[in-house]
Amino acid sequence: MSLISIKSPGFINAVMSLAVKTLKVRYKNSLLGIFWSMLNPLLFLIILYIVFSRVANENQELNYALYALSGLIFWNFISASVLQVLTSFIDNGDILKSVNLDPIAFPFAAMLAAIFNLLLSFIPFFIILFFVGYDLNWSILSIIPFILVTAVFITGLGMLLGTLNVYFRDIQLLWTTITPAFFYFTPIAYPITLIPERFRWLIKLNPFYYFIDAVHQIFHDSRFPSFENVCVMLGLAIAAISLGYYLFTKLRKGFISNI
């Protein structure tokens, strides 16, 4: 049986089939389906609104509900997608051992399923956005390239961590442990102006900051992401996918024996 590699005609069909399978498993026997994807951000929004209510009231230019909800939705997308891509090799171990399929199909399929899930969640997301004061404008068009660049970054980071996770299962545990720290270290539900100016450079060392900041610019500020953000996001995406693919090609030969 010949290998279904990334250059094979059937590779895209294999990735699509894996992505559809992932979505079917996720929503199997679920009554509310995609609306569950909004439950977590809405609960967090209520809690955070109480915590940051003073900030919301003092800053007249800040639509806190809009600011926090958009940040929460895309943070959930980023954090959950990294975990899905990271675990894709292990989760599909049985397929990897029984089907002569290039393992790179698994992170691609996981990322594709995550994008499909995000697009589906846009239905309740946009309904709620209009209730919290969002005005539709041309800046919304930038969400398409934003999602693509973010997907490349997540795929690269997830592939890097996922490859290491095949050999060292502590990587998955490490990621799930540090994810909450990244949540609070990233201005998702609070403006960066809350951070003393002398410490803001630390926040900007966090790669996730630029992706969440771009989301806030698109939805809360109703403008296209800044040139600085675009350059940094592109640089991070290229670096992540390059490092992830390089490590994957170096260590992929030992996947079957270590899964």
Q: Which residue has the tokens 């809009």?
A: 66
CA gap 85, 160 in Å, rounded: 9
User: Over the stretch 13-72, which tens digit does the pLDDT of each residue have?
Assistant: 888 888 888 777 666 655 555 566 666 666 766 776 666 666 656 666 788 888 888 998
Amino acid at 109: A
Say how far apart CA 16 and CA 109 lie, in whole Å: 6
pTM of the model: 0.89
| Long-range contacts of residues 118-127, Cβ cutoff 8 Å, at least 24 apart | 118/77, 118/147, 120/33, 120/34, 120/37, 121/34, 121/37, 121/38, 121/73, 123/34, 124/34, 124/35, 124/37, 124/38, 125/38, 125/69, 125/73
> What does the pLDDT average to over 143-156?
96
Strand partners, 4: 101
Spatial separation of the C-alpha atoms in residues 131 and 65, rounded to whole Å: 10
Quote the CA–CA distance of 66 and 58 in Å, as a whole number.
16
**pLDDT the model gives residue 111:** 95
Token couple for 85: 């891509």
In a domain, 171, yes or no: yes
Quick check: is 2 in a domain? no
Q: How large is the C-alpha radius of gyration of the chain?
A: 19
Span 205-256, pLDDT tens digits: 999 999 999 999 999 999 999 999 999 999 999 999 999 999 999 998 888 8
Total structural domains within the chain: 1
Q: What is the pLDDT confidence band of residue 142, given thresholds at 50, 70 and 90? A: very high
Q: What is the mean pLDDT of the chain?
A: 86
4 in a structural domain: no
pLDDT value at residue 109:
93
- Helices 64-86, 105-131: axis angle to 10 degrees equals 170
Give the whole-angstrom CA distance, residue 247 versus residue 226: 32
- Measured distance CA(86)–CA(161) in Å, rounded: 6
Q: How far apart are CA 104 and CA 88, in angstroms?
A: 9
Dihedral sign from CA coordinates of 108, 113, 116, 122 = negative
Q: 6 lies in a domain?
A: no
Q: Which domain holds residue 245?
A: 11-258
77 within a domain of the structure (yes/no): yes
What pLDDT score does 1 carry?
47
Measuring CA to CA, which residue among 71, 43, 116 is closest to residue 210?
A: 71
Residue 1 lies in a domain: no
pLDDT of residue 158: 96
Residue 62 lies in a domain: yes
How far apart, in Å, are the Cα atoms of 128 and each of 31, 63, 124, 146, 157? 20, 14, 6, 21, 31
